[in-house]
Structure 1
Amino acid sequence: MDAEVRVQRPNGSRPAGCRSDLQKIYWHLCDTWGIAVQAATALGFVICVVTTLGLLVRWRHVSREPGRRAALLLFLLATAGVFALPFSFVISLSAETCPIRVFLFGMSFAIAFGALVARGLALLDVGLALGWREVGVILALALVQAIIAAEWLLVVLVRDDRPCAFSQPEFAMLQLYVMVLMGAALVVALRFLRAAYVTYSYSHTAKMRRHAKLQAGLLVLTLLLSVCVWVTWITLLTYGNLVTGHRPDWDDPVIGVALAVNGWVLLLGHGFAQVRFLCQREGCAKNPPLDFTGWTSSTTEPAAEPKPGTDNSRFQLDVDERRDQAMELFGIPMKEINAEKNYRIPRPTATNINQPYDHYYEHRA
């Protein structure tokens, strides 16, 4: 009975849930780890797609910081690619899955970690990564990994005319540039974390400082967890599985689980956080300033112009009459000024305006 359930093969046995006529390359689809990885990655992929579509819909109505939104869209697309990659490892290595493993693996992580590098530079106010230049930094960093992967595929598949087969250390070495990007992103994030907690500016409010500290902490936490995931799967792939005697049975499961875990780390640590920060900033921008005009005067009726006058007109007239009587008593007649007469005081004028001292020097000579 047991022999009918499991059929032995060089790198493992057919799981009990698989049909007998199912090809060997699909046996992992009905294995326990394969089902768990497929469920976790499918959920993450759907969430990434829904979040991306939501940002695109909001983009039509709100155009605040379009460069930052485009960079976040690239990050979400790269995270969706990370969630889609485990399916190529659940299916055994073949001529169809090999280019996907080699090319899309490095490209997805290069875009994701490149986005983290660009975001850290933008948070540090580096002019190279502000506005739409943040998207340019991401694409430029990802282009290097695309050249590396494409060159490897062309050399192996076209020039050498070999099947797409590689060893575990070779696959790890293909991701060397991605590891450099991850390290650079961690360094930039740590510098921003230090600036958020040490640097103080009177132009920043308490809310802005808390926002910067939270964003720096999430960025550092995301990258630290990613580093732990990468160290774990590379160690197991190149050394651990060989020592424990589980090579090659555990090679694909290790990478598949690592992809699922790292995808959720990127989505929860940076993707959701950036979406929330953007929504908060939009909400603050949409709140209109406070208007106190209705508290003091009516907004429908225009304010009446001030009328000239005194507080007590009778008192003012009495004061004017007493002043006139006092002036007349001292012999100063009080008469009204005639506007037609010229009351300007005459001033002396020079006879020779151009050379006023010529007459003086002539007499002196």
Structure 2
Amino acid sequence: MDLKIFSTLPILLLLYLLDCGSAQSPPPRGCESSLESVYFNLCDLNAVWGVVLEAIAAVGIVITLILIVVLLCIIPFIQDKRKKASVAIQWIFLNSTLGIFGLTFAFIIKFDQRTCPTRLFLWGVLFSISFSCLLAHAWRLQRLVRTGEGPSTCKMIGLVLVLTLVQVIIAVEYLVLTTVRLNNVCSYENKDFVMLLIYVMFLMALTFILSTFTFCGHYRKWKKHGAHIFVTMFFSIAIWVVWIVMFVRGNAELNKSPDWDDPTLSIALVANGWVFILFYILPELRHITCPAKKEDDPPENIASSQRNPGLKGVDNQVFFLEESNRGIALNFEDNLHSPSYRGPSPMGRNVYSSPQEFTIPRPHTRPSYHPTPLLQDPYLNYHNRQTTF
């Protein structure tokens, strides 16, 4: 019996040493020994995808913070009130973009019980905020290009909150039901993660379709803002199609799942965040402070001219008649003070009631009358008629 115990001691000791050696394996190149293994992708120089994406996301966070400050500082310099009404939506959009860049670190860190709820909840909520802001802005631009007036800021903010609340309810319900049913919120498949984002895809499609209607209207200066949303949504949809195909089927067919799953999602987050900045925020900040051009008529002037297209012609005719009548009156006054003037003849009594009180006859339109610079004088040959009688 003692011999058996002594014979098994070396085996137990060897197993213990192997277990300790595996537990105390050296960290990868670039990481400290005191760092937990879940954070190795942040500093592992052998797997550089984490370090590269970390750097790109950090630059995106810094740029977004700068843009938030710039947007708040240029508010007093925005001259057009209709452009100033969209500042609140763009500020919310910048904050959601900042969250998207920050969420990238949750996918660079290895998947565990702490990062799993963050991934499931924030991905859909942050993108729903971003696409809801773009949808509200596209709705406002669609009204501006047609009528010159758009919905108020409160209506757009209310629309963003309502659309985002739907995704919040979906994410919370999924987390609660999964926790109660499986007692483990992180036991899900890749297709379940994609199914959780169906509502976000609906917002993307609706925003893209609505942005196409911003190109139809009389107010052309608002169409360039609609073009920003159109291009942003086009590239966002392309990014989503690629990462969904790779995440659901591509990585598995290449035998790279789950090793490539986190890099795929991280790349999608960083790429979509930079699309938001380059194709929407920067062009909007450039055009939002531009003063209105002189040829851009105010909405009320254009609306009145559309309602009364012949108003300008009527004004010109009235001015022409007034000038003609004034010329006739001056001509009559010159004749009145001339030495050859002998007073009104008997035939003129049907025109003048008395020598002191008289009226100037108004010219009447005849079939052969055409408004020309040489207007016929109603007192032409007046003296000839007088000498006849």
Give the TM bin, normalised by the shorter chain: 0.5 to 0.7
Matches within 5 A, 1:104-123: 104-123=122-141
Alignment of 1:29-44 (within 5 A): 29-31=42-44, 32-44=48-60
Deviations 1:172-213 (A, max 9, x none): 1111111111111111112323x2xxx5x4xx4xxx45x51x
* Matches of 1:163 and 1:223, distance apart in 2: 32
Whether 2:197 is the aligned partner of 1:175: answer: yes
CA contact (8 A) 2:211 2:226 kept: yes
Cα distance in structure 2, aligned partners of 1:84 and 1:165: 24
Match of 2:120 among 92, 96, 102: 102
Whole-angstrom CA distance in 2 between matches of 1:254 and 1:142? 25
Question: Is this contact kept in 2: 1:89–1:256, CA < 8 A?
Answer: yes
CA apart distance, 1:115? 1.3
Question: For residue 279 of structure 2, what is the amino acid of its counterpart?
Answer: G
In the alignment, structure 1 residue 131 sits paired with structure 2 residue 149: no
The CA deviation at 1:157 is: 2.9
Counterpart in 2 of 1:17?
A: 30
Contact 1:241–1:251 at 8 Å: present in 2 too? yes
Q: Deviations over 1:229-261 (max 9, x none)?
A: 111111111111111111111111110011000
1:85 aligned residue: 103
- Match of 1:47? 63
- CA gap of 1:227–1:8, structure 2 versus 1, over 3 A, is farther
- Aligned counterpart, 1:26: 39
The aligned residue for residue 302 of structure 2 is none
Q: For residue 269 of structure 1, what is the aligned residue in structure 2?
A: 279
Provide closer, same or farther for how the CA distance between residues 187 and 8 of structure 1 changes in structure 2, counting only shifts above 3 A: farther
Query: Are the equivalent residues in 2 in contact too, given 1:106–1:149 (CA < 8 A)?
Result: yes
2:73 maps to a residue whose letter is V
- State the Cα deviation string for residues 99-119 of structure 1 (Å, max 9, x = none): 221111111110111111111
Matches for 1:343-358 after TM superposition, within 5 Å: none
Q: TM-score, normalised by structure 1?
A: 0.67
Q: Closer, same or farther in 2 for the Cα pair 1:22/1:192, shift >3 Å?
A: same
SS at match of 2:268: helix
SS in 2 for 1:130: coil
Do the aligned partners of 1:67 and 1:135 also contact (CA within 8 Å) in 2? Answer: no
Letter in 2 for 1:140: V
8 Å contact from structure 1 (residues 118, 129) kept in 2: no
Q: For 1:304-360, what per-residue CA distance to the aligned partner results, in whole angstroms no more than 9, with x for missing partners?
A: xxxxxxxxxxxxxxx989799x99xxxxxxxxxxxxxxx99xxxxxxxxxxxxxxxx
CA contact 1:67–1:134 (8 Å) conserved in 2: no
The C-alpha deviation readout for 1:60-93, integer Å capped at 9, x for no partner, is 6658345311111111111111111100001112
The runs of 5 or more residues in structure 2 that have no matched partner are 1-20, 295-335, 344-355, 358-389
Q: Which whole-Å CA distance do the structure 2 matches of 1:171 and 1:321 have between them?
A: 102
| Aligned residues with identical type, % of pairs | 32
CA gap 1:235/1:322 in 2 versus in 1, 3 angstroms: closer
* Counterpart Cα distance in 2 of 1:163 and 1:321: 110
**Residues 117 and 30 of structure 1, relative CA distance in 2, 3 Å threshold:** same
Q: 1:215-234 counterparts in 2 under 5 A?
A: 215-234=225-244
Moved over 4 A (4+): 60-63, 126-129, 319-324
Contact 1:75-1:111 within 8 A present in 2 as well: yes
Change (3 A) 1:135 1:163: closer
Aligned length: 278
The letter of the residue matching 1:162 is N
After superposition, give the CA deviation of every residue in 1:119-173 in whole Å (9 maximum; x if it has no partner).
1111110899712212221111111101111111222235643243322111111
Partner of 2:352: none
How far did 1:36 drift?
1.0
SS in 2 for 1:246: coil
Q: How far apart are residue 271 of structure 1 and its match?
A: 1.2
Q: Please give the secondary structure, in 2, of the residue aligned with 1:124.
A: helix
**CA shift in 2, pair 1:15/1:169, >3 Å:** farther
For residues 279 and 248 of structure 1, do their structure 2 counterparts lie closer, same or farther at Cα, with a shift above 3 Å needed? Answer: same
2:289 counterpart SS class: helix
Match among 249, 252, 265 for residue 242 of structure 1: 252
Give the root-mean-square deviation of aligned CA atoms: 3.4
